[in-house]
Amino acid sequence: GAGVSQSPSNKVTEKGKDVELRCDPISGHTALYWYRQRLGQGLEFLIYFQGNSAPDKSGLPSDRFSAERTGESVSTLTIQRTQQEDSAVYLCASSSRSLAASYEQYFGPGTRLTVT
């Protein structure tokens, strides 16, 4: 079956512009996560969704970052007024509801964002 997909795969934007990153989780997965990974560094948790609600937004670095999820499916991460420090790979993952598999996060290939 299809895995987690993300679009675009690469995005170059000018400082100050807004960007939208999209994540399509595995069908039926109720949990969805966004992470940021700066070059050569580990993953940094941003936000997770359970269904369409976001119980944990603690990782969002500033109010320029927001995310939404609709239909318990697609999620969009929006970065407003991008800054150069926003340059990173943004990874999305999803997880199913079942007891055993709920511990497993399946990752997409990521969106590489470059802010010039």
Partner 1 sequence: KNQVEQSPQSLIILEGKNCTLQCNYTVSPFSNLRWYKQDTGRGPVSLTIMTFSENTKSNGRYTATLDADTKQSSLHITASQLSDSASYICVVGLNTGGFKTIFGAGTRLFVKA
Residues in touch with partner 1 (CB under 8 A): 4, 31, 33, 35, 41-45, 48, 50, 55-56, 91, 93, 95, 102-110
Cβ proximity to partner 1, 43 vs 74, nearer residue: 43
Give least dist CB 38 to partner 1, A.
11
Give least dist CB 81 to partner 1, A.
27
Cβ proximity to partner 1, 72 vs 110, nearer residue: 110
Bond into 61 cis (ω within 30): no
d(C-alpha 108, C-alpha 22), whole Å = 11
* Residue ranges with strand state E in the chain: 5-7, 10-13, 19-24, 31-37, 43-50, 53-56, 65-69, 75-79, 88-95, 106-107, 111-115
Give least dist CB 103 to partner 1, A.
5
Cβ proximity to partner 1, 16 vs 28, nearer residue: 28
The dihedral built from the CA positions of residue 33, 76, 28 and 90, taken in this order, carries a sign that is: negative
Give least dist CB 16 to partner 1, A.
27
